[in-house]
């Protein structure tokens, strides 16, 4: 499949690497066509890897990943262009973290809204699926690095899009029973706000190499 990964940070790199490893053709997008990190990644990732602007990645991809900073996600997608994301599955991995105040960061949007919903509202023809934003990127693409049962959440308004993202997550190594469907994109409020707890868990455990599991009574 042809996939556009919007974002040149560690998340974009981890997801793009995994996708190329799985045989997909990946175009990594940035604000600039000659982003040195994206250029270096494309050179080292081989012939199925390319790079360009956010618009280039959105145009090339049949399915898109938003791996941009939460503060810039809407601008990144606007610069890609609504017509290039229309009709496509957009896996939103971003978190709306605000690093301008004291640490740990706070949320730019919360309680009654979420970044996932803002993106879906701004791009009504995109098929937004919020996923993978509740763990560090090494675990997103290699869940086996954390032993035992642990979960990934998906939410979005398009059931067929969620099914396809579920299938992709299983190719990343997620067992089907570990993929928890939280319903519509409004549930992004929950997975984004979980970051407030995730950041404290990082502080308490002294490591980011963890994930959570939802245990249910029989």
Ligand X SMILES: NC(=O)c1ccc[n+]([C@@H]2O[C@H](COP(=O)([O-])OP(=O)(O)OC[C@H]3O[C@@H](n4cnc5c(N)ncnc54)[C@H](OP(=O)(O)O)[C@@H]3O)[C@@H](O)[C@H]2O)c1
Q: Which residues bind ligand X (CB under 6 A)?
A: 7-12, 30-32, 35, 67-72, 75-76, 93-95, 97, 133, 136-137
CB-wise, 12 or 61, nearer to ligand X? 12
CB-wise, 89 or 141, nearer to ligand X? 141
Task: Say how far apart CA 24 and CA 3 lie, in whole Å.
Answer: 7
Q: Of the candidates 66, 57, 53, 68, which has an alpha carbon nearest to the alpha carbon of residue 25?
A: 57
CB-wise, 1 or 10, nearer to ligand X? 10
Six-digit token string for 132: 């993978």
Q: Which residues pair with 107 in a beta bridge?
A: 97
Q: How far is the CB of 218 from ligand X (least distance, A)?
A: 32
Q: How far is the CB of 175 from ligand X (least distance, A)?
A: 20
Q: How far is the CB of 2 from ligand X (least distance, A)?
A: 19
Q: How far is the CB of 157 from ligand X (least distance, A)?
A: 21
DSSP for 88-153, written as a single string: SEEEE----EE-SSSSSPEESS-SS--HHHHHHHHSTTSEEEEESTTS-HHHHS-GGGS-S---EE
CB-wise, 43 or 218, nearer to ligand X? 43
CB-wise, 54 or 162, nearer to ligand X? 54
Q: How far is the CB of 100 from ligand X (least distance, A)?
A: 13
CB-wise, 24 or 211, nearer to ligand X? 211
Cβ contacts of 175 within 8 Å, gap of 6 or more: none
Q: How far is the CB of 129 from ligand X (least distance, A)?
A: 14
Q: Of the candidates 182, 89, 80, which has an alpha carbon nearest to the alpha carbon of residue 127?
A: 89
Cβ contacts of 42 within 8 Å, gap of 6 or more: 28, 49, 50, 51
- Judged on CB neighbours under 10 Å (0-12, 13-18, 19+), 190 is middle
Q: Which residues pair with 51 in a beta bridge?
A: 28
The structure tokens 């549930």 sit at 187
């Amino acid at each position: 499949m042809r996939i556009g990964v919007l974002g040149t940070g560690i998340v974009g790199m981890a997801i793009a690497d995994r996708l190329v490893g799985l045989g997909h053709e990946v175009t990594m997008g940035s604000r600039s066509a000659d982003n040195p990190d994206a250029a270096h990644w494309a050179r080292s990732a081989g012939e199925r890897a390319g790079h360009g602007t956010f618009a280039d990645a959105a145009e090339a991809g049949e399915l898109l990943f938003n791996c941009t900073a939460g503060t810039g996600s809407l601008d990144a997608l606007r610069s890609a262009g609504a017509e290039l994301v229309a009709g496509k599955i957009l896996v939103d991995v971003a978190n709306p973290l605000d690093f301008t105040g004291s640490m740990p960061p706070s949320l730019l949007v919360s309680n009654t809204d979420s970044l996932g919903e803002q993106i879906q509202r701004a791009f009504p023809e995109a098929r937004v699926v919020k996923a993978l934003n509740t763990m560090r990127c090494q675990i997103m693409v290699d869940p086996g690095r954390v032993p035992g049962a642990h979960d990934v959440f998906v939410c979005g308004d398009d059931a067929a899009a969620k099914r396809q993202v579920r299938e992709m997550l299983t190719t990343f190594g997620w067992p089907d029973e570990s993929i928890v469907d939280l319903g519509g994109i409004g549930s992004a409020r929950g997975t984004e706000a979980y970051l407030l707890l995730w950041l404290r868990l990082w502080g308490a455990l002294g490591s980011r190499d963890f994930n959570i599991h939802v245990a249910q009574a029989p």
